Structure 1
Amino acid sequence: MPRSIEVTIGVVGRAHGIRGDVMIDLRTDEPERRFATGAVVRVEGSRRTLTVTKSAWHGGRLMVHFQGMDDRNAAEAARGTVLVCDVDPAELPEEDDEYYDRQLVGLQAVLADGTVVGEVSQVVHLPAQDLLVIDVDGEERMVPFVTELVPRVDLAAGEVELVAQPGLLADEGDDDGDDEAKGHDEDAERGAP
């Protein structure tokens, strides 16, 4: 297992004011952690690092000041820069029953009896709930990431358990002869249906 993995945490947006502050288009669910004062982030595709000297919420968006970016010209020049950081692959979100997308993608989707029915290919974040996109024999099926449909996530075993519910992984009316196979994360959270 790699010692660390690179994750995208944000993109430098527009400059704010004349002192080098920038707005960040977030790609993380933990901005207070990733952009804390003193945090060091890296510019994607390079070894260049930026140190956060201050961050604050402004109008619902995160405003950050980086060491050495002390005027509007420097801030404007940084616009569009993709910011990344290295994290431990075993790192989990602070809340129970939450997972980073990178931890869910690639997990096998199995039924309670261990039958493999697909693989998680993507996590989609919607306002009401998150969805797991399951690749079932080359077809994508979206499954609400709720405890009632996904009762177990086992990162160590590399699998998510899905309930066997007709119509969940196949269109109702599909007659493939296997009704049992029709069962059932920037951080995905399992919620209520």
Structure 2
Amino acid sequence: MTDSKLIFVAQVGGAFGVKGEVRITAHTAEPMALVGYSPLLRADGSVGLTLVSARPDKAGVVARVKEIATKEQADALRGLKLYVPRDRLPALGDEDEFYLTDLIGLEARDADDAVLGRVKAVQNFGASDMLEIAPAAGGTTWYLPFTRGAVPDVRIADGWLRALRPAETGEPEPGEG
């Protein structure tokens, strides 16, 4: 199956040094994998950065890229989000394995199988991954921690996941306790 959906994998942090190297924050399990995914794309599918060489850094990699020759050019790209087509990511070996992006669009069902909504996005505000749920009845989206207690069952192939709000799991609501 070929899937050309673009997956967010990295973001430009800005210049590193004065010779045109760029710091790239990786959102991959192995930051150096970015080299193998090169060229990294912009959200519109056009080439963003072509990594020529890279070395590990605390948040990702420091790279020399084809499109950047100066510190000023690197700084001008600060914040640029970088993507790869889904079909360029490594195949997963187990049906229980999935990428976080696979959760987007799944139905969120409660313990009685009632549809609560759909996963709109997977966010990480610094502490852990959170599922942003768009309610089936419309209205404001809400967040659910992506933990085993709050999401005990994920059925990618069937198009749904079990979503238990903190009150149903016994976990404190965010901001409590």
TM range (shorter): 0.5 to 0.7
Partner of 1:114: 113
Matching residue's letter, 1:42:
L
SS at match of 2:147: coil
Partner of 1:155: 156
Q: Is the 8 A contact 1:3 1:89 kept in 2?
A: no
Q: By how many angstroms is 1:41 displaced?
A: 1.6
Partner of 1:69: 68
Q: By how many angstroms is 1:13 displaced?
A: 3.2
Q: By how many angstroms is 1:65 displaced?
A: 1.0
Q: By how many angstroms is 1:10 displaced?
A: 2.8
Question: Any stretches of 5+ residues in structure 2 without a counterpart?
Answer: 169-177
Report 1:36-115 matches (<5 A): 36=35, 39-45=38-44, 47-48=46-47, 50-58=49-57, 60=59, 62-67=61-66, 69-72=68-71, 74-76=73-75, 78-88=77-87, 99-115=98-114
- How far apart, in 2, do the equivalents of 1:82 and 1:23 lie? 12
SS at match of 1:18: coil
Aligned residues: 167
Q: Is the 8 A contact 1:38 1:53 kept in 2?
A: no
Q: By how many angstroms is 1:16 displaced?
A: 2.0
Q: TM-score, normalised by structure 1?
A: 0.63
Q: Is the 8 A contact 1:37 1:53 kept in 2?
A: no
Partner of 1:146: 147
- How far apart, in 1, do the equivalents of 2:130 and 2:88 lie? 22
Report 1:26-45 matches (<5 A): 26=26, 28-30=27-29, 32=31, 34-36=33-35, 39-45=38-44
Structure 1 vs Structure 2: percent identity of aligned residues? Answer: 26
Q: By how many angstroms is 1:108 displaced?
A: 0.5
- How far apart, in 2, do the equivalents of 1:90 and 1:40 lie? 13
Q: Is the 8 A contact 1:110 1:117 kept in 2?
A: yes
Q: By how many angstroms is 1:46 displaced?
A: 5.8
Q: By how many angstroms is 1:76 displaced?
A: 4.4
SS at match of 2:19: coil
Q: Deviations over 1:71-103 (max 9, x none)?
A: 445534544544322122996678996643421
Larger radius of gyration: 1
Partner of 1:17: 17
- How far apart, in 1, do the equivalents of 2:93 and 2:147 lie? 19
Q: By how many angstroms is 1:112 displaced?
A: 5.0
Q: 1:7 to 1:37 in 2, by over 3 A?
A: closer
Question: Any stretches of 5+ residues in structure 1 without a counterpart?
Answer: 169-193
- How far apart, in 1, do the equivalents of 2:134 and 2:44 lie? 30
Q: Is the 8 A contact 1:92 1:99 kept in 2?
A: no
